[in-house]
């Protein structure tokens, strides 16, 4: 049995080496060979994960934030052999870990590996890239790129919320066309957000009907509206009732094709992605992930 630990040394407030040592100690109960790979630049985590697939590793343990997890998933996706994926969350938001009830405390997350309890989960494919959690289009999504690392460290997911609120209040809307399982939607929107899980930007109630392997995107199109209506929408967002608002179009679909007449860039798992148009689809139950037993 072989396992690979992919470690982002810049995550975890310089405790990453201690966490790696603890993971290695935990994995010794199950695996004969354990390799530790440290990322140095963008793309390393994806390359290491693909190497683990080709070499027929049994498990890949990714340590880092949502960006590192996203890279590891891109390395694993659609390979002939896909090792089980372990997640040790060391980032600001850690949406994928939240959705799978993986503890946000790194040492508690490491203890999950000892149980060897696996859950099949969906991943998304957008054009030729893969993602674990969410894609978004609109000025609010693009505003997240301007959040500084210092602000993310200080405020966590609240930093993204603050930048998004500024865009909302500026009243910036975009024209888009969205094709989906049940037809097509066209119009002006402040934000299109399509989630694979219930946790988006640290808000665990955004898509309460989403499960990690239902084979569907849960998409919310927030239509153009006045500032008072925007303010009235916030409680619905916090309570997980967004889909019930008249100002929101809720779409449940296995695919989304999105176009726009102007230049807009899609946000993929919190990172700047590629310009529209895009085609996205769900790869159902595509990866197996280590999760707590009984979901706790």
> Can you give the three-state secondary structure of 250-296, one letter per residue?
EEEECEEEEECCCCCEEEECCEEEEECCEEEEEEEEEEEEECCHHHC
pLDDT computed for residue 155 by the predictor: 46
- pLDDT given for residue 126 in this prediction: 96
Per-residue pLDDT, 92: 75
- CA–chain centroid gap for 225, Å, is 28
Supply the pLDDT for residue 145. 56
pLDDT at 232: 60
Say what the pLDDT of residue 45 is.
Answer: 96
- Could you give the residue ranges of the DSSP H alpha helices within 55-156? 66-76, 95-99, 106-115, 139-143, 149-155
Question: What pLDDT, on a 0 to 100 scale, did the predictor assign at position 206?
Answer: 66
Q: What is the mean pLDDT of the chain?
A: 84
Question: What distance in Å separates the CA atoms of residue 180 and residue 193, rounded to the nearest whole number?
Answer: 14
pLDDT on residue 7: 92
Q: Rounded to two decimals, what is the model's pTM?
A: 0.84
254-293 pLDDT per residue, tens: 999 999 998 888 988 878 888 999 999 999 999 999 999 8
274 is catalytic: no
Interaxial angle between packed helices 227-239 and 157-170, expressed in degrees from 0 to 180 and rounded to the nearest 10: 150
Contact partners, residue 276, CB within 8 Å, separation at least 6: 137, 176, 258, 259, 260, 263, 264, 265, 266
Q: What is the pLDDT of residue 17?
A: 79
The Cα 62–Cα 8 span in angstroms is 8
pLDDT digits (tens, 9 = 90+) for 139-158: 766 666 555 556 555 545 44
Which positions of the chain have pLDDT values less than 50?
Answer: 155, 157-158
Given the residues 24, 247, 271, 288, the one annotated as active site: 271
Taking a C-beta distance cutoff of 8 angstroms, is the pair 224, 189 a contact? yes
- Per-residue model confidence (pLDDT) at position 167: 58
171-180 pLDDT, tens digit each: 578 899 999 9
């Amino acid at each position: 049995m072989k396992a690979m630990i992919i470690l982002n040394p810049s995550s975890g407030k310089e405790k990453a080496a201690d966490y790696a040592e603890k993971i290695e100690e935990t994995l010794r109960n199950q695996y004969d060979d354990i390799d530790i790979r440290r990322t140095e630049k963008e793309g390393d985590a994806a390359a290491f994960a693909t190497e683990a697939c080709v070499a027929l590793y049994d498990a890949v343990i990714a340590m880092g934030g949502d960006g590192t997890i996203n890279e590891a998933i891109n390395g694993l996706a659609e390979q002939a052999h896909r090792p089980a994926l372990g997640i040790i969350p060391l980032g600001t938001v850690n949406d994928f870990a939240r959705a799978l009830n993986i503890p946000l405390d790194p040492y508690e997350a490491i203890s999950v590996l000892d149980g060897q309890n696996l859950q099949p989960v969906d991943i998304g494919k957008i054009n030729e890239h893969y993602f674990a959690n969410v894609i978004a289009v609109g000025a609010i999504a693009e505003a997240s790129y301007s959040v500084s690392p210092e602000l993310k460290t200080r405020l966590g997911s609240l930093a993204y919320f603050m930048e998004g609120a500024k865009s909302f209040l500026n009243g910036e809307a975009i024209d888009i066309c969205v094709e989906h399982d049940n037809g097509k939607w066209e119009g002006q929107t402040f934000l299109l957000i399509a989630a694979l899980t219930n946790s988006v930007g640290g808000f665990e109630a955004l898509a309460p009907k989403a499960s990690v392997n239902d084979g569907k995107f849960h998409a919310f199109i927030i239509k153009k509206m006045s500032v008072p209506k925007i303010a009235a929408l916030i409680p619905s967002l916090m309570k997980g009732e967004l889909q019930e608002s008249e100002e929101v179009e809720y779409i449940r679909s296995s695919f989304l094709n999105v176009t726009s007449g102007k230049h807009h860039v899609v946000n993929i798992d919190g990172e700047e992605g590629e310009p529209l148009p895009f085609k996205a689809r769900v790869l159902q139950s595509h990866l197996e992930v280590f999760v707590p037993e009984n979901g706790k």
